Amino acid sequence: PTRCMAIPQAMALCHNIGYTEMRLPHLLDHDTAAEAIQQSVSWLPLLARECDPDVRLFLCSLFAPVCLDRVIYPCRSLCEAVQTSCTPIMACYGYPWPAILHCGRFPAGHSLCVAAISNGSRPSRPR
């Protein structure tokens, strides 16, 4: 059964994201807050590298989805933008983009989904 709970204090990744309650279980099939916290911690180094302005938004839409009457998935375009920006940094540390975050599983087009906020203001790479 789906339930709502406050975003745990220990889930530092998803503090100050504009909402305070998350729903469980969620897209990554974490049934408990402890499980979600444990998995979210491994993404903190990527967040620190600021590979994409919407990386926190994307990760929190998965680890701590906003508590509504149905799951709101991240938009495919959001996933693709974060993947494009962050994959090279992950590769430097020997990590591939995880299969569970394959962007093809997220809604495209005009579906109701969590979209990028940064509006294309991606950090430009020097040529």
Give residue 82's Cα distance to chain centre: 9
- The average pLDDT across 1-22 equals 89
CATH architecture under which domain 3-105 falls: Orthogonal Bundle (1.10)
Is residue 44 within 8 A of residue 52, CB to CB? The reply is no
pLDDT at 126: 40
**CA–CA dist 34, 31 (Å, integer):** 9
**CA–CA dist 75, 73 (Å, integer):** 6
pLDDT tens for each residue of 66-94: 998 888 899 999 999 999 999 999 999 88
- The average pLDDT across 12-24 equals 89
Give the pair of three-digit tokens for residue 14: 């998803």
Q: What are the sequence ranges of the domains in the chain?
A: 3-105
Name 71's Cβ contacts closer than 8 Å, sequence gap at least 6: 23, 26, 27, 65
21 bridge partner residues: 6
Q: Whose CA is closest to 85, among 68, 70, 73, 97? A: 97
